[in-house]
Chain A
Amino acid sequence: MRRRVVQWSSGPVVKCLGILTFAVCSLQFALASAAPADLFGRGNVAYEAGDFAGAVSLYDSAAAGITSAELLYNRGNARFKLGEVGRAIADYNRAWVLKPHDKDIRHNLAFARQFRPDKSLTIENPLMRILTDFLRLPDYATARVLAGLLFFLALAALALLFVRGERLFGWVALGLGVLFLYFFVSAASWSAVTGAEHGVVVQPELTLRSGPGPEYKEIAVVHDGLEVTLREQRPGYVLIQIPGGDGGWVESASVEQVFAR
């Protein structure tokens, strides 16, 4: 006859975690939604009045307090209206990572990309496209949190299997492990997109040089809105790689980093 030697319940632990999470969320809500929300609204009013430069300034101030897909989207709109296609693309990219399924964001990102003088000729593998879309069903933060939570639950189920010796916990652990793998790979996929190496050219015309300085030879000319990869940072200069593999050194201010670390 099996004797119950150890009595353990996960209920109190989950409750404690829930209360902790709720408390932290509420605190952050209370701290963050006062002045920035007001600046956000005033930015919208300026935008509606046609004062796009004023709107960008207000959105910038609001962005210092909150990170919101709507805010970044609206700032992208204001920048696009000002003719800053590159900066608009950077904002739309940031908003897209926060809300990857928002059709407005996707539309405006695609629309702004049409105005780039430099067109990307990269042909995407359709199978990779399907796989990427599948992996990016959840947004980055959700994938990351769920991956951690599922990892915890899978190991907890495994622990129960060790303690109780019942196979059911083994199957539960396996299922949770598969889900964990999906969200973990999803988070990794998002991580590749939100890396610090992603940048956008924000000058109408930009000359790439062979070294970090004006004395180096000019290699190529790129234009506003081109999305590039930041390879190396030097004081005042950055080495960028353009689609297709070529690259060169440009002044740091001429390229906007999309996701800061």
Chain B
Amino acid sequence: MTKPKVKSQKPKRKTDRVRRALTFGLCLLAFGFAAELNFSADADRTTVGLGEQFQLTVTVEGTNVGRAPRPQLPTMDDFDVLGSTSSQSTNISFVNGRMTQQQTISFIYFLSPRRVGDLTVPSFKLDFKGTTYQTQPIAIAATKESQAPPPSRQQQQSPFGFPGRSQPRSSGRGNVRLTASADRTSVYQGEQVTVTFVLYTQAQIGDLGIKDMPGFTGCWAEKLFDAKELNWRTTTYSGQRYNAATLKQVALFPTQSGQVKVDKMTVSGQIVVSGGFFFDSAEPFEVSSDPITIDVKPLPELGKPQDFSGGVGDFKVTAALSGDSSVGGEPLTLTVNVTGTGNIGLVGEPQLAPLAGVKVLSPEIKQNTRSSDGRVAGERTFNYPLIPTADGKFVIPDIAMGFFNPKTGSYFTQTTPRLEFVATGATGKTPLSDIESGVKTLGADILHIKPARGQQSPFADHHSPLAFLGWFFYPAGLVVLGVGIVLGRHRRRLEQDRGYARRTRSSRLVKKGLAEATKLLSQGNEREFHAALNRAVVRYVGDRFNIESTGMTGDQLQAELAGRNVDAATVSSLLDLIASCDAARFSPGMTRCTPQETLEKARTVLERL
């Protein structure tokens, strides 16, 4: 009964395993799709008048999409691409100590319909991390009528397609011309070319509309002027008087070298013809401008700085930090601001040097352009989130950006000063495992063990007996000091007390004198022996009792010694010794003692003294 159960369980377990694996895989797949990327396209309006432009925004949104490529621009037969720009933003949030980073990149295209009808903006495609993403097509209704907002009540309503001041009346049919002119036809790549479309007429015209808008392929186009109303002026063209009105003015910045062609613009309308006393008649017309060809010179390679940003014009760069300190891994923002005149929209992001201990995220790019005296000017801002991953003082080195000045035909570099900030409490606070680029902090640990070196210096161990050697010096020092004090006092007394000094040295001197006498005796010189012995004894007596004994008579000496409490027997022996020595010196035959006996007698007397 058991076997069948076992057999029936095997396939079931296998099926469960497969099911679990599939479920896990689907979860992973779903999570991957959910967390990867959101790709969409949106138009600011879906009904556009012919000749008008609208804005198409293609958005890439998700985590870690900073390296996403630019979407592939589909072939658009029904639209002219007037220009494009992009912006990027990063949203950082900390939830439960974990950082999430949401990035949004917007690619903005300015489109204009080429014809009237129901048109479709095709799908954009994006290949990212092996996956192809696609936007939904967008339907655009292109109408002949302008879809621009209606003019205000105060604005004078024109009988023509363009509102405006009343056109000066003219007689006769006259000519209608449309011209396109460029302020220059030979420029450097990235240098501004201003193209102006002007309508000339000698007749009264109405029901005016733009039939074909020119394309600006190979250029970044920035609108300088779009006529919402026609401002007529009287001018001379080809030697004839015309009423002229500027329809459009656009700044073009070629993005490639070679020849760039500005296509023709076509305007249609009706000419008012005086038909009689009561009624005027109208005749349709259609005029086009001539295409313009612009020679675009490549930027010179000679002198091109490594940090060339792509900017052509006159620019200045500044940099600033949102603060000078970061606590607990709190992000700071490094703002690099480029301002000036030129192709501001084509200025690339600056190259930042890697900063150890700081995570530098992709910048959020903001741009603001304006027209200044017919030139495109503005600012482009790069906001870099900086996340400290270590504590310390950090220095952001100089940020250099190279530009090309078409007026001088040379490159120049703008450099920002160094910036500093201090980070505290950043270590181990910010998990950065979800950030792909830069140095990754994966964890922290204790430092490794040290090699075995055996016994170190015994002094380094405060429990070692040698470390207690210090205690030995304290009593030794006191002993030395005590000895010094005693010796010092002794020395001062020697200097101040003559009797003490003579008494102190008496023993040493008498020993010296006796040794000298003994030496003379050993040489057989008895006379000199007795003289030396006499000198030594008399000198000792003088030193011992601090008296001037030399030259004293026996009585004088006896009196001095008696006054110093020397016993009479000793004094008598001393005088006898001195007399013996004198006799031996001056009457050698009269001596009663041998020299040895005299020497021994002298020692006895000196000991008793």
Contact = CB atoms under 8 A, between A and B. Distances in A.
B450 A67 contact: no
A73 B467 contact: no
B471 to A, nearest CB: 6
Interface stretch (B144-152, B323-331, B457-465, B557-565): B457-465
A142 B449 contact: no
Given A36-B455, A74-B449, A5 B491 contact: yes
Contacts of B489: 162
Interface in B474-494: 474, 476-478, 480-481, 483-485, 487-491, 494
Q: Binding site of B, secondary structure by majority: helix, strand, loop or mixed? A: helix
Given A142-B459, A152-B480, A40 B452 contact: yes
Contacts of A114: 428
Interface stretch (B156-164, B291-299, B411-419, B440-448): B440-448
Contact of B473 (A99, A152, A162): A152
A151 B494 contact: no
Interface string B409-447: 000000000000000000010000000000000001111
A79 to B, nearest CB: 10
Interface string A59-94: 000000011111101100110110000000000000
Nearest to B488: A162
B446 A33 contact: no
A137 B466 CA distance: 20
B488 A163 contact: yes
A104 B455 contact: no
Nearest to A102: B450
Interface stretch (A21-29, A213-221, A232-240, A243-251): A21-29
B77 to A, nearest CB: 66
Interface residues of A, number: 67
A200 interface: no
B454 interface: yes
Contact of B446 (A3, A111, A160): A111
A138 B495 CA distance: 46
A162 B487 contact: yes
B74 interface: no
Contact of A107 (B447, B454, B458, B469): B447
A63 to B, nearest CB: 11
Contacts of A147: 470
A148 interface: yes
Given A148-B471, A152-B480, A162-B485, A47 B464 contact: no
Which of B446, B453, B459 gathers the greatest number of chain A CB atoms within 10 Å?
B446
B472 interface: yes
Interface string B312-324: 0000000000000
A104 B487 contact: no
A6 B453 contact: no
B467 A28 contact: no
Given A77-B449, A108-B446, A144-B467, A6 B487 contact: yes
A117 B420 CA distance: 35
A44 interface: yes
B451 A70 contact: yes
Contacts of A155: 477-478, 480-481, 484
A66 B444 contact: no
A69 B474 contact: no
Which bucket holds chain B's interface residue count? Answer: 35 or more
B461 A98 contact: yes
Given A21-B469, A148-B471, A44 B461 contact: no
Contacts of A178: none
B456 interface: yes
Given A5-B494, A98-B461, A70 B480 contact: no
Contact of B490 (A6, A33, A66, A73): A6
A188 interface: no
Given A70-B453, A152-B480, A163-B491, A141 B474 contact: no
A73 B126 CA distance: 56
Contacts of B490: 5-6
Contact of B484 (A21, A44, A163): A163
Given A21-B466, A144-B467, A152-B474, A158 B484 contact: yes
Interface string B199-210: 000000000000
A78 B446 CA distance: 10
A88 to B, nearest CB: 8
A19 interface: no
Interface in A85-143: 97-99, 104, 107-108, 111-112, 114, 139-142
A141 B464 contact: yes
A149 B467 CA distance: 12
A70 B452 contact: yes
B470 A145 contact: yes
Contact of A41 (B444, B447, B452, B459): B452
Which of A5, A69, A151, A159 gathers the greatest number of chain B CB atoms within 10 Å?
A159
B460 A141 contact: yes
Contacts of B450: 70, 73-74, 104
Given A6-B487, A148-B469, A140 B452 contact: no
Given A37-B452, A159-B480, A67 B463 contact: yes
A32 interface: yes
A144 B465 CA distance: 12
A57 interface: no
A108 B467 CA distance: 26
Contacts of A148: 469-474
Contacts of B495: 2-3
Given A74-B449, A145-B470, A69 B454 contact: no
B452 A159 contact: no
B452 A28 contact: no
A108 B446 CA distance: 5
A139 B575 CA distance: 73
A185 interface: no
A107 B447 CA distance: 8
A108 B495 CA distance: 66
A172 interface: no
Nearest to A98: B460
Contacts of A112: 446
Contacts of A141: 459-462, 464, 467
22 contacts: A5-B491, A6-B487, A25-B458, A28-B455, A37-B455, A66-B456, A70-B450, A74-B450, A78-B449, A98-B456, A107-B446, A108-B446, A112-B446, A141-B464, A145-B466, A148-B473, A152-B480, A156-B481, A159-B480, A159-B485, A162-B485, A163-B484
Interface of B: 428, 444-456, 458-474, 476-478, 480-481, 483-485, 487-491, 494-495
Which 7 A-B pairs have CB atoms at the shortest separation, nearest pair first?
A: A159-B484, A148-B470, A162-B488, A148-B473, A155-B477, A37-B454, A152-B473
Interface of A: 2-3, 5-6, 8, 21, 24-25, 28-29, 32-33, 36-37, 40-41, 43-44, 47-48, 66-71, 73-74, 77-78, 80-81, 97-99, 104, 107-108, 111-112, 114, 139-142, 144-149, 151-156, 158-163, 165, 187, 190, 194
Given A99-B460, A104-B450, A158-B481, 10 more contacts: A2-B495, A28-B458, A33-B455, A108-B447, A141-B459, A147-B470, A148-B471, A149-B473, A156-B480, A163-B484
